Amino acid sequence: MQELTITDLEAGQRLNKYMMKYLNQAPSSFIYKMLRKKNITRNGKKASGDEILECGDVIKVFLADETIEKFRVVKSADSATSDGSAQESRQKPGITLQILYQDPDILAVHKPVGVLSQKAKKDDYSINEAIVDYCLSMRILSEKQLETFHPSISNRLDRNTSGIILAGISLKGSQTLARILKGHTCEKYYYTIVAGEMKQRIHEKAYIVKDTKKNQSEIRKHESPGASMIETAFTPLCMKNGFTLLQVQLFTGKSHQIRAHLQSLGYPMAGDTKYGNPTVNRKLRERYHLNHQLLHAGRLVLPDIPEITDPLPAEFQKVADGLELKLPANH
Protein backbone atom coordinates (compact mmCIF):
# COMPACT_ATOMS: atom_id res chain seq x y z
CA MET A 1 0.00 0.00 0.00
CA GLN A 2 1.13 3.53 -0.83
CA GLU A 3 -0.10 6.68 0.91
CA LEU A 4 0.21 9.95 -1.03
CA THR A 5 -0.43 13.43 0.38
CA ILE A 6 -1.41 16.10 -2.14
CA THR A 7 0.77 19.23 -2.14
CA ASP A 8 0.10 22.77 -3.37
CA LEU A 9 1.77 21.89 -6.67
CA GLU A 10 -0.56 18.94 -7.24
CA ALA A 11 -3.84 20.45 -6.02
CA GLY A 12 -6.43 21.59 -8.53
CA GLN A 13 -6.37 18.58 -10.85
CA ARG A 14 -8.77 15.66 -11.08
CA LEU A 15 -7.92 12.53 -9.15
CA ASN A 16 -7.93 10.34 -12.27
CA LYS A 17 -5.40 12.67 -13.98
CA TYR A 18 -3.18 12.57 -10.91
CA MET A 19 -3.26 8.78 -10.77
CA MET A 20 -2.46 8.50 -14.49
CA LYS A 21 0.69 10.51 -13.80
CA TYR A 22 1.57 8.43 -10.74
CA LEU A 23 0.86 5.04 -12.36
CA ASN A 24 2.16 6.34 -15.67
CA GLN A 25 2.39 2.93 -17.38
CA ALA A 26 -1.13 1.81 -16.47
CA PRO A 27 -4.01 2.09 -18.95
CA SER A 28 -6.83 4.43 -17.91
CA SER A 29 -9.17 1.41 -17.73
CA PHE A 30 -6.99 -0.03 -14.95
CA ILE A 31 -7.13 3.26 -12.99
CA TYR A 32 -10.94 3.39 -13.18
CA LYS A 33 -11.22 -0.30 -12.24
CA MET A 34 -9.10 0.29 -9.13
CA LEU A 35 -11.25 3.30 -8.21
CA ARG A 36 -14.44 1.26 -8.56
CA LYS A 37 -12.99 -1.52 -6.39
CA LYS A 38 -11.83 1.00 -3.73
CA ASN A 39 -8.21 0.03 -4.32
CA ILE A 40 -7.65 3.77 -4.73
CA THR A 41 -9.34 6.02 -2.16
CA ARG A 42 -9.39 9.73 -1.34
CA ASN A 43 -9.45 10.71 2.32
CA GLY A 44 -10.54 7.20 3.27
CA LYS A 45 -13.58 7.22 0.97
CA LYS A 46 -14.47 5.69 -2.37
CA ALA A 47 -13.81 8.07 -5.27
CA SER A 48 -14.96 8.22 -8.88
CA GLY A 49 -11.85 9.93 -10.22
CA ASP A 50 -13.63 13.16 -11.13
CA GLU A 51 -12.91 14.78 -7.75
CA ILE A 52 -10.75 17.92 -7.77
CA LEU A 53 -7.82 17.37 -5.45
CA GLU A 54 -7.12 19.79 -2.62
CA CYS A 55 -3.91 20.41 -0.72
CA GLY A 56 -3.69 17.89 2.15
CA ASP A 57 -5.88 15.23 0.54
CA VAL A 58 -4.63 11.72 1.29
CA ILE A 59 -4.70 9.22 -1.55
CA LYS A 60 -4.26 5.57 -0.60
CA VAL A 61 -3.29 3.01 -3.23
CA PHE A 62 -4.07 -0.53 -2.05
CA LEU A 63 -1.91 -2.41 -4.51
CA ALA A 64 1.02 -4.76 -4.07
CA ASP A 65 4.44 -3.16 -4.40
CA GLU A 66 5.12 -5.40 -7.40
CA THR A 67 1.99 -4.08 -9.16
CA ILE A 68 2.92 -0.47 -8.45
CA GLU A 69 6.43 -1.08 -9.79
CA LYS A 70 4.96 -2.67 -12.92
CA PHE A 71 2.78 0.35 -13.70
CA ARG A 72 5.12 3.09 -12.53
CA VAL A 73 8.29 4.41 -14.17
CA VAL A 74 9.96 7.15 -12.16
CA LYS A 75 11.12 9.90 -14.51
CA SER A 76 13.79 12.48 -13.83
CA ALA A 77 13.68 16.10 -14.94
CA ASP A 78 14.38 15.21 -18.53
CA SER A 79 12.16 12.14 -18.95
CA ALA A 80 14.90 9.87 -17.70
CA THR A 81 15.24 6.31 -18.86
CA SER A 82 16.15 3.54 -16.45
CA ASP A 83 19.74 3.45 -17.73
CA GLY A 84 20.34 7.09 -16.79
CA SER A 85 20.69 8.37 -20.35
CA ALA A 86 18.39 11.31 -19.67
CA GLN A 87 20.55 12.35 -16.74
CA GLU A 88 23.47 12.61 -19.15
CA SER A 89 21.44 14.80 -21.51
CA ARG A 90 20.62 17.13 -18.62
CA GLN A 91 24.33 17.63 -18.03
CA LYS A 92 24.93 18.94 -21.55
CA PRO A 93 25.92 22.60 -21.84
CA GLY A 94 22.63 24.27 -21.05
CA ILE A 95 20.99 27.64 -21.34
CA THR A 96 21.58 30.39 -18.81
CA LEU A 97 18.07 31.60 -18.10
CA GLN A 98 17.38 35.31 -18.00
CA ILE A 99 14.43 35.69 -15.62
CA LEU A 100 12.00 38.45 -16.61
CA TYR A 101 9.27 37.76 -14.05
CA GLN A 102 8.63 35.21 -11.33
CA ASP A 103 5.99 34.53 -8.72
CA PRO A 104 5.12 31.26 -6.94
CA ASP A 105 3.11 30.01 -9.92
CA ILE A 106 4.38 31.71 -13.10
CA LEU A 107 7.80 32.23 -14.64
CA ALA A 108 8.70 34.43 -17.62
CA VAL A 109 12.10 34.04 -19.27
CA HIS A 110 14.00 35.35 -22.28
CA LYS A 111 14.41 32.89 -25.17
CA PRO A 112 17.47 33.66 -27.29
CA VAL A 113 17.64 33.22 -31.07
CA GLY A 114 18.60 29.69 -32.04
CA VAL A 115 17.10 28.01 -28.98
CA LEU A 116 14.07 25.71 -29.28
CA SER A 117 10.98 26.45 -27.20
CA GLN A 118 10.33 22.71 -26.85
CA LYS A 119 12.53 19.86 -27.90
CA ALA A 120 11.85 18.32 -31.29
CA LYS A 121 14.02 15.24 -30.71
CA LYS A 122 14.76 13.16 -27.62
CA ASP A 123 18.25 14.58 -27.15
CA ASP A 124 17.33 18.26 -27.68
CA TYR A 125 17.82 20.69 -24.82
CA SER A 126 15.18 23.40 -25.14
CA ILE A 127 14.05 26.36 -23.07
CA ASN A 128 11.51 23.99 -21.49
CA GLU A 129 14.25 21.69 -20.14
CA ALA A 130 16.19 24.74 -18.95
CA ILE A 131 13.14 25.87 -16.96
CA VAL A 132 12.79 22.45 -15.33
CA ASP A 133 16.48 22.48 -14.38
CA TYR A 134 16.11 26.02 -13.01
CA CYS A 135 13.18 24.94 -10.83
CA LEU A 136 15.27 22.07 -9.48
CA SER A 137 18.38 24.16 -8.86
CA MET A 138 16.37 26.86 -7.07
CA ARG A 139 14.47 24.21 -5.08
CA ILE A 140 11.14 25.37 -6.44
CA LEU A 141 10.51 21.70 -7.19
CA SER A 142 12.07 18.42 -6.12
CA GLU A 143 12.73 15.35 -8.26
CA LYS A 144 9.90 13.61 -6.40
CA GLN A 145 7.43 16.40 -7.19
CA LEU A 146 8.32 16.06 -10.87
CA GLU A 147 6.73 12.63 -10.79
CA THR A 148 3.24 14.17 -10.69
CA PHE A 149 3.81 17.74 -11.96
CA HIS A 150 6.12 18.95 -14.72
CA PRO A 151 6.65 22.68 -15.39
CA SER A 152 5.91 23.49 -19.01
CA ILE A 153 5.89 26.50 -21.28
CA SER A 154 2.56 28.05 -22.26
CA ASN A 155 3.58 29.86 -25.45
CA ARG A 156 6.01 28.91 -28.20
CA LEU A 157 8.34 30.96 -30.35
CA ASP A 158 10.08 29.85 -33.55
CA ARG A 159 13.72 28.80 -33.12
CA ASN A 160 14.97 32.08 -34.65
CA THR A 161 12.50 34.33 -32.85
CA SER A 162 13.65 35.76 -29.53
CA GLY A 163 11.65 37.04 -26.61
CA ILE A 164 9.31 36.24 -23.74
CA ILE A 165 8.40 32.65 -22.88
CA LEU A 166 5.83 31.97 -20.16
CA ALA A 167 5.77 28.84 -18.04
CA GLY A 168 3.60 27.49 -15.26
CA ILE A 169 5.82 26.35 -12.38
CA SER A 170 2.83 25.06 -10.40
CA LEU A 171 -0.38 23.40 -11.52
CA LYS A 172 -2.24 26.60 -10.60
CA GLY A 173 0.15 28.62 -12.76
CA SER A 174 -0.21 26.26 -15.73
CA GLN A 175 -3.99 26.37 -15.48
CA THR A 176 -4.01 30.17 -15.12
CA LEU A 177 -1.84 30.68 -18.20
CA ALA A 178 -3.88 28.19 -20.23
CA ARG A 179 -7.07 30.06 -19.33
CA ILE A 180 -5.55 33.47 -20.18
CA LEU A 181 -4.14 32.38 -23.53
CA LYS A 182 -7.23 30.43 -24.54
CA GLY A 183 -9.47 33.36 -23.59
CA HIS A 184 -7.31 35.82 -25.57
CA THR A 185 -7.03 38.13 -22.54
CA CYS A 186 -3.28 38.52 -23.04
CA GLU A 187 -1.90 41.40 -25.15
CA LYS A 188 1.13 40.21 -27.16
CA TYR A 189 3.53 42.69 -28.75
CA TYR A 190 6.46 41.91 -31.04
CA TYR A 191 9.15 44.08 -32.61
CA THR A 192 10.60 43.68 -36.07
CA ILE A 193 12.35 45.54 -38.89
CA VAL A 194 10.91 45.39 -42.40
CA ALA A 195 12.04 46.50 -45.82
CA GLY A 196 9.97 49.45 -47.02
CA GLU A 197 8.58 52.49 -45.23
CA MET A 198 5.21 51.83 -43.61
CA LYS A 199 3.78 55.29 -43.14
CA GLN A 200 0.66 54.46 -41.15
CA ARG A 201 -0.70 51.79 -38.84
CA ILE A 202 -2.23 48.73 -40.47
CA HIS A 203 -4.76 46.62 -38.57
CA GLU A 204 -5.99 43.77 -40.74
CA LYS A 205 -7.92 40.54 -40.58
CA ALA A 206 -7.08 37.95 -43.20
CA TYR A 207 -6.89 34.18 -43.69
CA ILE A 208 -3.86 31.91 -43.48
CA VAL A 209 -3.27 28.53 -45.09
CA LYS A 210 -0.26 26.40 -44.18
CA ASP A 211 1.49 24.01 -46.54
CA THR A 212 2.72 21.45 -44.01
CA LYS A 213 5.03 19.74 -46.53
CA LYS A 214 6.89 22.99 -47.21
CA ASN A 215 6.34 24.38 -43.69
CA GLN A 216 5.22 27.62 -45.31
CA SER A 217 2.09 29.70 -44.92
CA GLU A 218 0.13 31.80 -47.40
CA ILE A 219 -2.11 34.78 -46.62
CA ARG A 220 -5.45 35.14 -48.38
CA LYS A 221 -7.89 38.04 -48.27
CA HIS A 222 -10.99 35.86 -48.32
CA GLU A 223 -12.07 32.71 -46.52
CA SER A 224 -11.25 29.48 -48.29
CA PRO A 225 -11.14 25.74 -47.46
CA GLY A 226 -8.49 24.94 -44.87
CA ALA A 227 -7.86 28.60 -44.07
CA SER A 228 -7.88 30.07 -40.54
CA MET A 229 -8.78 33.65 -39.72
CA ILE A 230 -5.93 35.81 -38.40
CA GLU A 231 -5.75 39.34 -37.01
CA THR A 232 -2.61 41.46 -36.75
CA ALA A 233 -1.87 45.14 -36.12
CA PHE A 234 1.35 46.78 -37.37
CA THR A 235 2.39 50.12 -35.86
CA PRO A 236 5.39 51.96 -37.39
CA LEU A 237 7.72 53.31 -34.71
CA CYS A 238 10.53 54.70 -36.86
CA MET A 239 11.26 54.93 -40.62
CA LYS A 240 14.61 55.59 -42.26
CA ASN A 241 16.83 54.42 -45.11
CA GLY A 242 14.06 52.38 -46.70
CA PHE A 243 13.32 50.38 -43.55
CA THR A 244 10.70 50.56 -40.79
CA LEU A 245 10.93 49.51 -37.16
CA LEU A 246 7.52 48.05 -36.26
CA GLN A 247 5.57 47.11 -33.20
CA VAL A 248 3.30 44.18 -34.00
CA GLN A 249 0.27 43.26 -31.91
CA LEU A 250 -0.82 39.67 -32.35
CA PHE A 251 -4.53 39.01 -31.80
CA THR A 252 -4.37 35.44 -33.09
CA GLY A 253 -1.39 33.12 -32.92
CA LYS A 254 -1.00 31.02 -36.04
CA SER A 255 2.29 29.56 -37.23
CA HIS A 256 4.38 32.12 -39.18
CA GLN A 257 1.49 34.61 -38.93
CA ILE A 258 3.55 37.79 -38.59
CA ARG A 259 6.14 36.84 -41.20
CA ALA A 260 3.63 35.71 -43.83
CA HIS A 261 1.28 38.64 -43.15
CA LEU A 262 4.07 41.17 -43.64
CA GLN A 263 5.11 39.50 -46.89
CA SER A 264 1.53 39.73 -48.18
CA LEU A 265 1.43 43.44 -47.36
CA GLY A 266 4.67 44.10 -49.25
CA TYR A 267 6.88 44.67 -46.19
CA PRO A 268 9.18 41.63 -45.98
CA MET A 269 10.86 41.05 -42.64
CA ALA A 270 14.58 41.74 -42.42
CA GLY A 271 16.63 38.54 -42.43
CA ASP A 272 13.68 36.24 -43.11
CA THR A 273 14.92 33.54 -45.50
CA LYS A 274 11.46 32.01 -45.98
CA TYR A 275 9.24 35.08 -46.49
CA GLY A 276 11.77 37.90 -46.91
CA ASN A 277 13.46 39.63 -49.84
CA PRO A 278 16.68 37.78 -50.87
CA THR A 279 18.40 40.97 -52.10
CA VAL A 280 17.67 42.82 -48.86
CA ASN A 281 18.72 39.83 -46.80
CA ARG A 282 22.02 39.55 -48.66
CA LYS A 283 22.87 43.20 -47.98
CA LEU A 284 22.02 42.84 -44.30
CA ARG A 285 24.06 39.68 -44.07
CA GLU A 286 27.08 41.35 -45.66
CA ARG A 287 26.81 44.47 -43.52
CA TYR A 288 25.64 43.08 -40.16
CA HIS A 289 26.24 39.30 -40.46
CA LEU A 290 22.49 38.79 -40.03
CA ASN A 291 21.51 35.18 -40.67
CA HIS A 292 17.96 35.02 -39.28
CA GLN A 293 14.75 37.02 -39.15
CA LEU A 294 14.59 40.00 -36.81
CA LEU A 295 11.53 39.21 -34.73
CA HIS A 296 11.38 39.73 -30.98
CA ALA A 297 8.50 39.04 -28.59
CA GLY A 298 9.19 41.99 -26.37
CA ARG A 299 6.07 42.80 -24.34
CA LEU A 300 3.21 40.91 -22.69
CA VAL A 301 0.27 42.37 -20.82
CA LEU A 302 -1.63 39.80 -18.75
CA PRO A 303 -4.51 40.28 -16.30
CA ASP A 304 -3.51 40.51 -12.62
CA ILE A 305 0.21 40.24 -13.44
CA PRO A 306 2.67 43.15 -13.86
CA GLU A 307 3.50 43.96 -17.48
CA ILE A 308 6.40 41.82 -18.70
CA THR A 309 8.99 43.34 -21.02
CA ASP A 310 12.14 42.02 -22.68
CA PRO A 311 14.64 44.52 -24.18
CA LEU A 312 15.77 44.12 -27.78
CA PRO A 313 18.64 41.62 -28.09
CA ALA A 314 22.09 42.99 -28.94
CA GLU A 315 22.03 41.66 -32.51
CA PHE A 316 18.64 43.24 -33.20
CA GLN A 317 19.83 46.53 -31.67
CA LYS A 318 23.00 46.45 -33.78
CA VAL A 319 20.99 46.32 -37.03
CA ALA A 320 18.55 48.97 -35.79
CA ASP A 321 21.43 51.30 -34.89
CA GLY A 322 23.11 50.72 -38.24
CA LEU A 323 19.90 51.61 -40.07
CA GLU A 324 19.35 54.61 -37.72
CA LEU A 325 16.07 53.19 -36.46
CA LYS A 326 15.43 54.29 -32.90
CA LEU A 327 12.96 52.67 -30.54
CA PRO A 328 10.80 55.37 -28.87
CA ALA A 329 11.40 55.85 -25.15
CA ASN A 330 7.94 54.51 -24.21
CA HIS A 331 8.67 51.07 -25.74
122 and 109 in one domain?
A: yes
Point out the least confidently predicted range of 84-98, 121-135, 221-235. Answer: 84-98
pLDDT digits (tens, 9 = 90+) for 79-121: 433 333 333 334 345 688 999 999 999 999 999 999 999 988 8
* Angle (CA) 110 113 119, round 5°: 85
Residue 178 lies in a domain: yes
Check whether residue 55 and residue 123 sit in a common domain.
Answer: no
Whether 101 and 33 share a structural domain: no
Q: Is residue 327 in a domain?
A: no
What is the pLDDT at residue 75? 57
Q: Which domain holds residue 305?
A: 187-322
How sure is the predictor about 248, in pLDDT bands with cuts at 50, 70 and 90? very high
Same domain, yes or no: 162 and 203: no
Residue 33, domain member (yes or no): yes
Residues 202 and 285 in one domain: yes
Write the CATH number for 313: 3.30.2350.10
Q: Which residue has the higher pLDDT, 231 or 72?
A: 231
Residues 177 and 191 in one domain: no
Domain match, 191 and 220 both = yes
Give domain status of residue 329, yes or no: no
Give the whole-angstrom CA distance, residue 5 versus residue 18: 12
pLDDT at 8: 80
pLDDT (0 to 100) of residue 258: 96
Q: Residue 226 — very low, low, confident or very high, per pLDDT cuts 50/70/90?
A: confident
Q: What pLDDT score was predicted for residue 84?
A: 33
In a shared domain, residues 237 and 140: no
Strands ordered across the beta sheet of 45-46: 2-5, 58-61, 40-42, 45-46
Q: Is residue 135 part of a domain?
A: yes
- Whether residue 331 has pLDDT greater than 80: no
In a domain, 12, yes or no: yes
Residues 280 and 220 grouped into a single domain: yes
Rounded Cα distance between 166 and 156, Å, is 9
Choice among 19-28, 141-150, 243-252 with the minimum mean pLDDT:
141-150
Residue 176 located in a structural domain = yes
Whether pLDDT at 76 is above 80: no
Please state, in angstroms and rounded to a whole number, the distance separating the CA atoms of residues 278 and 261: 17
Strand, helix or coil for residue 12? coil
Does the pTM exceed 0.85?
no
User: How sure is the predictor about 184, in pLDDT bands with cuts at 50, 70 and 90?
Assistant: confident
pLDDT of residue 82: 31
The verdict on 290 and 177 lying in the same domain is no
End position of a domain, from candidates 182, 217, 246: 182
3-state SS string over 216-254?
EEEEECCCCCCCEEEEEEEEEEEEECCEEEEEEEECCCC
